[in-house]
Chain A
């Protein structure tokens, strides 16, 4: 038992991003099916950055930093040269976790602003999978070593195959039926029908079509799996003080957390907390920093690589207990404006665009501005959950000025 809390631990509570930085601009390119972008990937990145600057009313040459994730191929020095940026002050890549880095990249950008490293940081992601290797197909190598040696020779290769056993175990442990994953897929498609940006706009999904769709890998059907797309997305961040003078209503960062549980990366599916989306340690830090509870969250954008990952992400962020998943995860509960837990209100990775999740950050900002294609009336607090079942993962909370 400790009687004295060390000074460094007491000061940890004061070290917070809450209310210090805001997202002031968002932008994206046209979203394409994979391989269908008429533009090269780096040009897509530049277009999205300019769109976000225009949205913010900020001159692109005011940018002095960049943050991204998942080894984005378009490095900040090239972008800064291309854009004629006078001075590059922050160049940051979230290390590991693929799409799990989406919220972390926003957090890293915000930390740079709060620490004084830079004043105006762009978070971006650009993907033209048709021009490079697709995520969902096996890489062309003839041999596999390390983690891959334990899985590839058994036909456990793609992301869907990598995550299916985590979800299978979770569904088994908690008696969760197929309706829960179906509701998550239906909600994304439902919202995409009101979103002209969505790749699946005009392509509604019925429960029957979901049930009739082919298995990719049990327990995932076709519509449980994200799309693969071409496009780019960007957000502009500045300090809270500066945000108040800009064109759009600021979306203030309330908290960000990244990481994963004890030995999450133990090779060959040996994570002790296996049936998990990797947020069991991350989510409490997020809520503690933001000073809000799940009840305060108006709308959730939760990265759908696969619907089962969304299910676990929501539970680990304490929106409901696993035993209640079958009752809570219904289409009515998940759709804006009336649902009790409006989810993926732009269509997300399943039906808007697999912009590696960064479209979810943009949608969260639009919800707080009242600019969403499926607005949640009076939305004040928006959550984004990035990249379930990988490591590190990350999640973030944004709020309107009156929440501060």
Chain B
């Protein structure tokens, strides 16, 4: 039996960049296996989620910096009730909120891979696992997480 291609079944809403282009660099980065976060060119402050202006110094000059794809679990949930038709019969799955201390505390959302019934500890270390959906139109890549020692 082959492994399922994707952690959650196909058919969930596909991520697309915003029409105004705000988060295009983030989604382009995931296609290359890179995790990118906004950083202000002027004050060097980190910013996530994306916005057109730096919330610290109000400069419009924001860079996108590739950061180490690892962090710690800030919070988590185990979802049971299938709220989308694609999730029917899938069973429980884990969602984690991961804090990137080395990127100003930016938090990223993804699924925690492995046994869905595993015990999850806040502050546990995790690393990113990129999940390309090359067959989608347009193609996209999700960023999941797995426990590290």
Residues of A within 8 A of B (CB): 136-138, 141-158, 160-161, 164-166, 168-169, 172, 214-219, 263, 266-270, 274-275
In the bound complex, what is the Cα–Cα distance between A154 and B98 (angstroms)?
Answer: 13
Chain B positions 104 through 123: 1 when the CB is less than 8 Å from some CB of chain A, otherwise 0: 00111111000000000010
Q: Does B64 contact A (CB under 8 A)?
A: no
Q: Is the CB of A146 within 8 A of B80?
A: no
B65-79, CB < 8 A from A: 74-79
Q: How many residues of B contact A (CB 8 A)?
A: 42
Q: Is the CB of B16 within 8 A of A144?
A: yes
**Across-interface contacts of A154 in B (CB, < 8 A):** 8, 95, 109-111, 142, 144
In the bound complex, what is the Cα–Cα distance between A217 and B78 (angstroms)?
Answer: 6
Q: Is the CB of A168 within 8 A of B80?
A: no
**Given contacts A160-B81, A268-B48, is CB(A149)–CB(B15) below 8 Å?**
yes
Q: Is the CB of A142 within 8 A of B109?
A: no
**Across-interface contacts of A166 in B (CB, < 8 A):** 75
- 26 of the cross-chain contacts (CB-CB < 8 Å) are A136-B83, A138-B13, A138-B84, A143-B16, A144-B15, A148-B13, A149-B18, A153-B140, A155-B79, A155-B111, A156-B79, A156-B95, A158-B81, A164-B77, A165-B75, A165-B76, A168-B76, A168-B77, A169-B74, A172-B75, A215-B78, A215-B92, A216-B80, A266-B49, A268-B48, A269-B107
B138 to A, closest residue via Cβ: A143
Contact partner of A270 among B16, B49, B78, CB < 8 A?
A: B49
Closest chain A CB from B26 CB (angstroms): 9
Q: Does B17 contact A (CB under 8 A)?
A: yes
Q: Does B89 contact A (CB under 8 A)?
A: no
In the bound complex, what is the Cα–Cα distance between A274 and B23 (angstroms)?
Answer: 22
**Across-interface contacts of A217 in B (CB, < 8 A):** 77-81
Q: Is the CB of B78 within 8 A of A263?
A: no
In the bound complex, what is the Cα–Cα distance between A206 and B8 (angstroms)?
Answer: 35
Q: Is the CB of A145 within 8 A of B77?
A: no
Q: Is the CB of B83 within 8 A of A157?
A: yes
Closest chain A CB from B149 CB (angstroms): 22
A138 to B, closest residue via Cβ: B84
- Apart from A145-B17, A156-B79, what are 16 other A-B pairs with CB-CB below 8 Å? A142-B13, A145-B18, A149-B15, A149-B27, A152-B13, A153-B15, A154-B109, A156-B95, A161-B77, A164-B77, A165-B77, A166-B75, A172-B75, A214-B81, A215-B80, A270-B49
In the bound complex, what is the Cα–Cα distance between A152 and B14 (angstroms)?
Answer: 8
A158 to B, closest residue via Cβ: B83
**Across-interface contacts of A152 in B (CB, < 8 A):** 12-13, 15
Q: Does B97 contact A (CB under 8 A)?
A: yes
In the bound complex, what is the Cα–Cα distance between A158 and B55 (angstroms)?
Answer: 29
Q: Is the CB of A161 within 8 A of B95?
A: yes
In the bound complex, what is the Cα–Cα distance between A156 and B95 (angstroms)?
Answer: 7
In the bound complex, what is the Cα–Cα distance between A155 and B112 (angstroms)?
Answer: 12
**Given contacts A143-B15, A268-B48, is CB(A155)–CB(B74) below 8 Å?**
no
Q: Does B87 contact A (CB under 8 A)?
A: yes
Q: Does B50 contact A (CB under 8 A)?
A: yes
